[in-house]
Structure 1
Amino acid sequence: MPKQRITKEMVVEAAFEIARKEGAEKVIVKNIAERLGCSVQPIYSYCSNMEGLREELVERTRTFMKDYIASRLDRTNYFWSMGQAQIHFAKEEPNLFKMYFLRRRQDISSLQELYTKEGSPDMGEYLSQTLQISPEKARELHLNMIIYTMGIASILATTGSDIPEEEISDRLEKAYHAFCAQSREEHNE
């Protein structure tokens, strides 16, 4: 029986599945080889160091998360449904959430920098038009909601808590209205 040819894509996918089911700390060469049913040699040929594999894994997770969130967006209430999708992602995919969001980032030195690098540039424009506030205030509103939403999502992903959906939605709604009121007040000053 001919040996199966192991590809880089197979290695990344196996690492992704391990991280998804067991957590990023279980992504080691031995476990990847076991999942693929091969020796560690093919894994080492693609992963001369684990840092490169972790970068590939983060990118694979980003793609998965974007597809996950996009499939749950309501175009009539884009902003709200985005926050809800992120909360659901943290609850349903806690290992991926932790690996992606709770990782150390060397290139981020402020919340504004994080927003610029990771935020959706279209959201600020959408909020500006929808709420009739300046683009600057819209981006600030968006950043505030990201911080608040990620706080709740982190609680869900790290504690395994089963906080009722209604309680989470109520908190998000209150935060949204408070941040909107603040943005409108500052806009009218």
Structure 2
Amino acid sequence: MPKQKITKEMVVNAAFEIARSSGMEQVMVKNIADKIGCSVQPIYSYCNNMDGLRQDVIEKVNCFIQEYVTNHIDINDLFRSSGHAYIRLAKEEPHLFKIFILHQRSGISSLDDLYQSETNPGIAQFISEKLHISLAKAKQLHLNMLIYTIGIGTIFSVTMPGISTDEIYTQQEIAYEAFLKQALDCRTSVF
């Protein structure tokens, strides 16, 4: 029987599946070899170091999350549904959510940098038009909800047996209403 050719893609996919089911801390050469069904030698040939492999897994996680959120957004309620999508992701894929939230981000020295790197620029424009507020206020509202959703999503993903999704969505709505009121109050005070 001919030997199976182990590819880098197979290694990254196996590492991703391990991270997805057990967390990034379980992404180890032996576990990857066991998952693929080979010795550790082919794994070492593709991984000069585990940091490079983990970075490949993080990139795969980011692609997965982008696709997941896109598939769970209601185009008629883009802003609210995107927040709900991240909470749903935290519930259904807690290990991937943690990897997404906790991975090191370089080049970020302000919340504006974080906002620019983590969001779709069209959402602020959508919020601005939908709520009749300035683009700056829309970005601030979006940033506030991004920070809040990351925080509550993290809490949601690490609690056992778990907080109900309805309770989390209710808290998101309360935060949204408070942040929206702030944006609208600022809008009226400018005139």
- Give the number of equivalent residue pairs: 189
SS in 2 for 1:140: helix
Match of 2:16 in 1: 16
Q: Which residue number in structure 1 is paired with residue 159 of structure 2? A: 159
* Equivalent residue number for residue 97 of structure 1: 97
Contact 2:58 2:103 in 1 (8 A): no
- Measure, in 2, the Cα distance between the counterparts of 1:61 and 1:160: 23
TM-score (norm 1): 0.96
Cα deviation, residue 148, structure 1: 0.7
- Unaligned 5+ segments in structure 1 are none
* Distance in 1 separating the partners of 2:66 and 2:118: 12
Q: In the alignment, which residue of structure 2 is the partner of 1:139?
A: 139
Question: 1:88 deviation in Å?
Answer: 0.8
Kept after mapping to 2: 8 A contact 1:58/1:99: yes
Matches within 5 A, 1:29-44: 29-44=29-44
Alpha-carbon offset, residue 162 of structure 1 = 2.1
- Provide the secondary structure at the position in 1 that maps to 2:163: coil
Distance 1:103 1:160 in 2: 23
Measured in 2, the distance between the counterparts of 1:77 and 1:110 equals: 28
* Alignment match, 1:120: 120
Unaligned runs of 5+ residues in structure 2 are none
Separation in structure 2 between the aligned mates of residue 144 and residue 161 of structure 1, nearest angstrom: 28
Alignment check: 8 A CA contact 2:73 2:82 kept: yes
Does 2:177 match 1:177? yes
TM-score w.r.t. the length of structure 2 is: 0.95
Structure 2 residue 61 is matched with structure 1 residue 47 = no
Q: Contact between 1:14 and 1:36, CA under 8 Å: does it hold in 2? A: yes
8 Å contact 1:12–1:57 — kept in the other structure? yes
